[in-house]
Structure 1
Amino acid sequence: MDLRIFTEPQQGATYDTLLAVAKATEDLGFDAFFRSDHYLHMGDVDGLPGPTDAWITLAGLARETRRIRLGTLMTAATFRLPGVLAVQVAQVDRMSGGRVELGLGAGWFEAEHRAYGIPFPQDKFDRLEEQLAIVTGLWATEAGKTFDFHGRHYELVDSPALPKPAQAKIPVLVGGHGPTRTPRLAAQYADEFNIPFASVEDSERQFGRVRAAAEAAGRGADDLICSNALVVCVGRDDAEVARRAAAIGREVDELKANGLAGSPAEVVDKIGRYAGIGSRRIYLQILDLTDLDHLELISSQVQSQLS
């Protein structure tokens, strides 16, 4: 089971804070550092000092880390034109020496679009499908040849399909809870399917749909990595768990029901239940980015028991 660190900087974080978490992620042996792609805070926080752009952040981290994978859960298709996104991600991949992964989703948070003047179309899922086709098509185009695409929302003519990423293929993540179109898109375009904040039972059902869709698309049922994203709150004792839960404005019982919370032994046990349904990777949502001791505890007493 791979453990990856997943951050929500729109809730309030500077680049320096994210850099500290990314370096701790690398030093403590985690597999990857991922971040959300949002421009507006959610819930009862002020979001100060304000948002940071996902791909600008990852470009900086690409030059200041050496081993960990870097990516997004999920880049919003509403935020960027697909050709521009393909250039941005390929460039960051080269800056990192080939360590980038792209999670791409339809976009959903209408308030942040209004706040920053970003159009919020009604046909977001159709646009996402075209974006996946364009981004993966541009990267896959043989050097020296051009790429064309004629869709309902986007048209590319004689694109040189440059730059090329450092990796032969940048891993693409698709995720969500949708029962039909989401599994189909994952089967067609993705290397990994991620379900966010879902129970073991709901994850098992969705993974089954994705595997069936992969087989229907002519792929093997296990060709895609299946993964989860879950909030994490671990403590050496009950008091430490309660302190960490309070710091992120959550209740311990709720976190235990809906995430990975409790003692290291409790969290290892629950991770085992996800592994039992075929989850191969968990993105640990870290909400208090100043608590690096939390990462050290997870590394030494949770991750160490999973290898």
Structure 2
Amino acid sequence: MRLRIFTEPQQGASYETLLAVAKATEDLGFDAFFRSDHYLKMGDVSGLPGPSDAWITLAGLARETSRIRLGTLVTAATFRYPGPLAISVAQVDQMSGGRVDFGIGTGWFGEEHTAYGIPFPSLGERFERLEEQLQIITGLWRTPEGETFDFEGRHYTLKDSPALPKPARPDGPPVLVGGVGAKRTPRLAAQYADEYNVPFHKVDDTAAAFGRVRAASEAQDRTRPMVYSAAQVVCCGRDEAEIKRRADAIGRDVDELRENGLCGTPAEIVEKLGRFAEIGTECVYLQVLDLNDLNHLELLAFEVLNKL
């Protein structure tokens, strides 16, 4: 099982803080550094120094790291037009030497759209736009050099696009689609994604969601492999006092975290990761909420990652 570090910078983080976490992620042996793509804080936090753009951040980290993969969990299709987004992601992929994973979703946080003047259509339209963006972005990346790309959909139209620049890989970065919707999400994942992610659900619910995507893949006669992954908030300590201290620092209750996330001693977390592995989870995104606690990452690396 691969472990990836997943951050929520909208809650309050400078680029320097994210760089420190990314470098620790690389030095300690984790597989990847991911960040959310949000423009507004959530909950009772200051959010200072304010939001940062996901792909600008990842462009910087692409030049300041050398091994770890980099990506979003997940970019909102409402935030950017698909053509410019394809250009940005391809450029970051080139800057990193092909280390980008591209996570994309419908967008869900209405308040951040209102705060920054971004249209927020109905859920049905957001799914329509997401599917068109998946078609366009992957189509642009996979168009051979010297040829052009055309697309005519309900929401986006492209004509004679040179489909440049190209990402490092000929077929583009791996595409990640997540969520637990019963119908539309499994179909989109099966059709377009290289990885399907279930965020912040219990083991049984995650297994059920995996099953829906497997069924959708079979219905579409999909032949290429799918990576199945999960995201879980993590709070690890050597003893109960350290666990409570870390839970208090992120404003969470220990019992609730034990029930709904990866919380406890390293042995407890390894045991729960084993239950995720039993249902076919190949990769887990550890949502680290206190980005100033690099000792937390060290403990996870030495006592959890090294035990898997």
Q: TM-score range, shorter-chain basis?
A: over 0.9
1:243 matched residue in structure 2? 245
Consecutive unaligned residues in structure 1, runs of 5 or more: none
Shift of 1:219: 1.2
AA aligned opposite 2:219: A
2:204 pairs with 1:201? yes
Deviations 1:17-68 (A, max 9, x none): 0000000000000000000000000011110110010000000000000000
* In structure 2, C-alpha distance between the alignment counterparts of 1:131 and 1:98, rounded to whole Å: 21
Deviation at 1:223, TM superposition (A): 1.5
Q: Distance in 1 between matches of 2:29 and 2:280?
A: 23
5 Å matches for 1:8-157? 8-122=8-122, 123-157=125-159
Query: Secondary structure of 1:257's partner?
Result: helix
How far does residue 218 in structure 1 lie from its aligned partner after superposition? 1.3
Task: State the 1:233 CA deviation.
Answer: 0.2
Aligned-residue sequence identity (percent) comes to 71
Q: Which amino acid is 1:11 matched to?
A: Q
Instruction: Please give the alpha-carbon distance, in whole angstroms, between the structure 2 residues aligned to 1:101 and 1:277.
Output: 23
Q: Distance in 1 between matches of 2:173 and 2:98?
A: 8
CA offset digits 1:213-265 (Å, max 9, x no partner): 11111114x82100000000000111000000000000000000000000000
Which runs of 4 or more aligned residues in structure 1 lie more than 4 Å from their structure 2 counterparts after TM superposition?
A: none
Q: Which whole-Å CA distance do the structure 1 matches of 2:285 and 2:159 have between them?
A: 38
Partners of 2:210 and 2:225 in 1: CA distance: 12
TM-score of the aligned structures, taking structure 2 as reference length? 0.98
Q: Given the two structures, how large is their TM-score scaled by the length of structure 1?
A: 0.98
Partner Cα distance (2:263, 2:110) in 1:
30
Aligned partner of 1:128: which letter?
L
- Per the alignment, residue 182 of structure 1 pairs with 185
Alpha-carbon RMSD across the aligned residues, in angstroms, is 0.7
**Structure 2 unaligned residues grouped into runs of 5+:** none
Counterpart Cα distance in 1 of 2:160 and 2:215: 36
Aligned pair count reads 305
